[in-house]
Amino acid sequence: MTPTRIASASESLNEIATLRIELKDTNPLIWRQVEVPTSITLKVLHDIIQITIGWFDYHLWEFTIGEQRYGMPMDQDWGTEPRKQAAKVRLRDVLKAKRTVIDYVYDFGDYWEHQITVTGVRAGDPAIGYPRYIAGEGAGPPEDCGGIPGFYDLLAARNDLNDPDHAQALEYLDDYDPDVIEELPIKYALGRIQSPQRR
């Protein structure tokens, strides 16, 4: 039986996965496409998501793959299933022969849900630095705005001069533009972790 392309990724440090990161329940959809080494840990994948969406890593987070949860080491699991340490699990170890979908939650209060889909795995190009940003649409929401409902309430209030929260929303969002991705800071930040020593 011939091994699949994704199966071979488990045996190579030079395999690159293409990931599509979607912020659930956004309309229009906020998404990013990135290429990452399959050798990175899930902790580094967390860092990449934070950078590309525009989060600032202020809050707790976790991945769910199948029935297993992965996150930071914690003294207690706050009523959830026990989680494995994301820093000790590599992406290649959770890839499956069929398309892999990974759920990621950031900020257990605002509860930003992301879906990460592995759309392909291939050999890396030695002339290219990874991880790298490929494409995306929509600016990530500001931190601590109340999750998806709060985010859209803020945008609506800012756009409505008669809304009683208009001035507050205007101040809170400042120069935020939901249609503009600041790509240069994303590429710069990803460049700082384009190192074979970074795991």
If you count them, how many residues does the chain have?
199
Whether pLDDT at 22 is above 80: yes
Instruction: Give the pair of three-digit tokens for residue 129.
Output: 């630095």
Range of the structural domain that residue 113 is part of: 5-139+179-191
> For the chain, how many structural domains are there in total?
2
Query: 39-70, pLDDT tens digit by residue?
Result: 999 999 999 999 999 999 999 999 999 999 99
Query: 126-146, pLDDT tens digit by residue?
Result: 999 999 999 999 999 999 999
Same domain, 75 and 35: yes
> Quick check: is 10 in a domain?
yes
Tokens 């959809």 locate to: 29
The alpha carbon of residue 70 and the mean position of all alpha carbons in its chain are separated, in whole angstroms, by: 14
> What CATH number has the domain bearing residue 73?
3.10.290.30
Report the distance separating Cα 64 and Cα 86, nearest Å.
Answer: 11
DSSP 42-111: HHHHHHHHHHHHT----S-EEEEETTEEEE---S--TTSPPEEEGGG-BGGGT--SSPPEEEEEE-TTT-
Same domain, 90 and 68: yes
Confidence at residue 96, expressed as pLDDT on a 0 to 100 scale: 82
Same domain, 51 and 119: yes
Nearest CA to 173 out of 151, 194, 193 is that of 151
> Quick check: is 39 in a domain?
yes
pTM: 0.89
Same domain, 83 and 169: no
> Quick check: is 197 in a domain?
no
pLDDT band at residue 158, thresholds of 50, 70 and 90?
A: very high
Out of 12-16, 42-46, 140-144, 182-186, pick the least confident. Answer: 12-16
